[in-house]
């Protein structure tokens, strides 16, 4: 089944079911591809937990018929912006120019933004 046919409002457990059908994989294989345990994948299937962004990115990388945007949407999260090596280096250069106190403040702000993104669509 093509991912363009994804039903609106599809949740992550439903997306995983489609992914298993499309790729002929099981939960253990999904766990290996995303760097989590099979029991963690089970919690996703039973809607007890939502995956972390790094697991969502790993899923998109391992199963490219499913886009990162589609996977994040099914998990009820906004898709993070891209971070190219050039952008990452620019951000690190800016970070290195901050005082320790300024770095601490920015870290708190970034954590707050990340927490907001985790809960914004849940």
Structure tokens at 32: 């290996």
Tell me the whole-structure pTM to 2 decimals: 0.72
Question: How far, in Å, CA of 23 to CA of 116, rounded?
Answer: 33
Domain of 101, in residue numbers:
85-119
Instruction: Report yes or no on 80 lying in a domain.
Output: no
Q: What percent of the chain has pLDDT over 70?
A: 89
18 in a structural domain: yes
Q: Classify residue 30 by burial, with Cβ atoms within 10 Å: 0-12, 13-18, 19+.
A: buried
Percent of the chain with pLDDT over 90: 73
Give how many domains the chain has, as a whole number: 2
- Residue 12, exposed/middle/buried by CB under 10 A (0-12, 13-18, 19+)? buried
CATH code, 65: 1.10.260.40
For residues 26 and 65, membership in a common domain is answered with yes
Convert the pLDDT of each residue in 21-57 to its tens digit: 999 999 999 999 999 999 999 999 999 998 998 999 9
Q: Which two tokens stand for residue 91?
A: 């951000």
Q: Kindly report, residue by residue over 5-23, the tens digit of the pLDDT.
A: 455 679 999 999 999 999 9
Residue 117, pLDDT score: 73
Confidence of residue 80 (pLDDT cuts 50, 70, 90): confident
State the Cα–Cα distance between residues 114 and 116, nearest whole angstrom: 5
Tell whether 100 and 44 lie within a shared domain.
no
């Amino acid at each position: 089944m093509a991912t363009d046919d994804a039903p609106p409002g599809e949740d992550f457990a439903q997306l995983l079911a489609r992914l298993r059908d499309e790729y002929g994989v099981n939960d253990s294989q999904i766990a290996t591809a995303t760097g989590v345990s099979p029991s963690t994948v089970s919690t996703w299937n039973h809607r007890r937990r939502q995956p972390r962004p790094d697991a969502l990115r790993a899923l998109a990388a391992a199963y490219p018929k499913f886009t990162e945007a589609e996977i994040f949407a099914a998990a009820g999260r906004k898709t993070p912006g891209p971070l190219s090596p050039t952008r990452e280096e620019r951000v690190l250069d800016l970070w290195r120019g901050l005082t320790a106190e300024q770095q601490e403040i920015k870290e708190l702000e970034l954590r707050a933004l990340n927490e907001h993104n985790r809960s914004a669509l849940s």
